[in-house]
Amino acid sequence: MKTNIEHIRNRIKAAAESCGRRPESIQLVAVSKTIPVERVKAAVVEGINIMGENYIQEARAKIEALADMPVSWHFIGHLQRNKAKFAVQLFDLIHSVDSIRLAREIDKQAGKIAKNQAILIQVNTGKEATKTGIYEEDAMALVREAAQLENVRIKGLMTLPPYFNAPDKVRPYFQALRRLRDRIAEEAIPGVEMEALSMGMTGDFETAIEEGATMVRIGTAIFGERS
């Protein structure tokens, strides 16, 4: 695990430097879905400070078990509205907000615990029926509406592009997310930050970094194949 993490950090650094970016401008989110808590703990000991989880129930057990460890938890899975309450209680950043109804529920639940919940808007850049995320052309309207919510803070965009074995085939989807981010940023909507671009996984994170990713979500290359 230690060597995997070192190796990934080196690859992030090399990818950043190859395109004139500062390596520190890219956050590594270690994706720990299905990984037992002992191995998650070992990753934190090796310096991972952001963990991404996909399932509320599974995440809750790990977050409670590692409560005294210096790690920030991000929710990266599909979020059902009836689980928004738990997501707000457990996570520093929710990457997967794709509807105003979900954003409103997060706002309501955050208000109840006096929290200002940081979120990203998930965009379905490939328009795949099997994936969640809002379509590019609807994202601006969603951002404008969600920006009105008192207890929600929009930090940027996230995408889960179509799967290809070749990173270069994914590049257009990363470019699309970055261009959309830039267009939204230009509008300077009050209360909206458009710094974060959450994109890139084990198979394509270097390409994502070249296209402007500020958060890469990496599971397999850190923890090995999931069973």
Ligand X SMILES: *Cc1c(COP(=O)(O)O)cnc(C)c1O
Give the nearest distance from C-beta 76 to ligand X in angstroms.
Answer: 4
Q: How far is the CB of 49 from ligand X (least distance, A)?
A: 17
Residue from 8, 15, 31, 192 that binds ligand X (CB under 6 A)? 31
| Only segment of 100-108, 166-174, 180-188, 214-222 that touches ligand X (CB under 6 A) | 214-222
Identify residues 1-30 at the interface with ligand X (CB under 6 A): none
Among the listed residues 76, 87, 100, 149, the single contact to ligand X using CB under 6 A: 76
Q: Cβ of residue 120: shortest distance to ligand X, in angstroms?
A: 11
Smallest distance from ligand X to CB 201, Å: 4
- The yes or no reply on residue 34 touching ligand X (CB under 6 A) is no
Distance CA(166)–CA(135), nearest Å, equals 23
Q: Are 39 and 58 in contact (CB under 8 A)?
A: no
Rule CB under 6 A: say whether 220 interacts with ligand X: yes
- DSSP assignment, residue 24? G
H-helix or E-strand spanning residue 177: helix 167-187
Burial class (CB in 10 A: 0-12, 13-18, 19+), 131: middle
CB nearer to ligand X: give 76 or 123. 76
Choose among 216, 190, 213, 188: nearest CA to 201.
Answer: 216
Regarding 213 and contact with ligand X (CB under 6 A), the answer is: no
Tokens of 221: 């290359």
Residue closer to ligand X (CB basis): 86 or 185: 86
Output the residue with the shortest Cβ distance to ligand X: 219
* Contacting ligand X within 43-62 (CB under 6 A): 54
Q: Scanning residues 148 to 207, which ones bind ligand X (CB under 6 A)?
A: 160, 201-203
Closest CB 145 distance from ligand X, rounded Å: 24
Quote the DSSP letter at residue 162.
P
CA dist 208 → 38, 132, 165 (Å): 30, 20, 14
| Rounded (10°) angle between helices 56-65 and 37-45 | 50
Give the residue with the Cβ less far from ligand X, 89 or 202. Answer: 202
Counting contacts by CB under 6 A, is residue 208 touching ligand X?
Answer: no
Residue 46: helix, strand or coil by DSSP? Answer: coil
Residues in contact with ligand X, counted by CB under 6 A, come to a total of: 12
Compute and round to an integer the Cα radius of gyration of the chain. Answer: 17
- Residue 30's SS3 state is strand
Residues near ligand X (CB under 6 A): 31, 33, 54, 76, 160, 201-203, 217-220
